[in-house]
Amino acid sequence: MAKLALLVSLFVWVVSLLDFSQAISSCNGPCQTLNDCKGQLICINSQCNDDPDVGTHICSNGGGGGRGGGGGGAKFPPSSSDGCEAFGNLNCKGKLFPQFKCSPRVTSSTRAILTNNDFSRGGDGGDPSECDGKFHHNSKKIVALSTGWYNGGSRCGKKIRITARNGRSVLAKVVDECDSINGCDKAHAHQPPCRNNIVDGSNGVWHALGLDIDVGEEPVIWSDA
């Protein structure tokens, strides 16, 4: 009987290990392969996150579970769409991307996704910046904001404060719009429309925040300075 009990215990232990190895992670949960993440999430930098090619914004809208803000630095409040819903979809290279005229409400700590943009001539930003019709050196601390936050250019030339999960923050000047309505053409460097919660920062912004540009996307909070 003792041997049988030992065998049963060993079997239960092995099964539990198998269940754990097949666990599916939610937003910001740990992962090693694409199969480790739920639904349309993908594994980026060992964490489950939105798929930039598909254009999902599950994690950026607070979906899933996982560690949320994490990091022990800045405190990230729960995000909300505030009734800002897509009004249509743009077909870009056979994929549909949601179009937004609005962005989540701006507060003293607005959640956003920081992406990286090349504001120089010939860069991936396409045409010159909307605010001044000029190209800019990427060492400058500058950003483009999603259409709703850009608000018809009302923030042009103004500073916003961006804070990363590591607690570091930077002041950056708004010089352009990250178009959440139009895209997939020469003016937008053939890129799809931006999501409605994007702060598109230069290399200078990423470096000032101590972030790895190769990661591609980082959750941040921002506010008007």
The more confident residue out of 6 and 167 is 167
pTM (two decimals): 0.65
pLDDT tens for each residue of 133-148 = 999 999 999 999 999 9
pLDDT > 90 in the chain, percent = 47
Q: How many whole angstroms separate alpha carbon 10 and alpha carbon 157? A: 66
The more confident residue out of 59 and 211 is 211
pLDDT tens for each residue of 122-178 = 766 567 899 999 999 999 999 999 999 999 999 999 999 999 999 999 999 999 999
For strands 142-146 and 110-116, give the pairing.
unpaired
* 11 phi, psi to nearest 5 deg: -65, -45
Residue 170, burial from CB neighbour count under 10 angstroms (0-12, 13-18, 19+):
buried
Residue type for 22, please?
A: Q
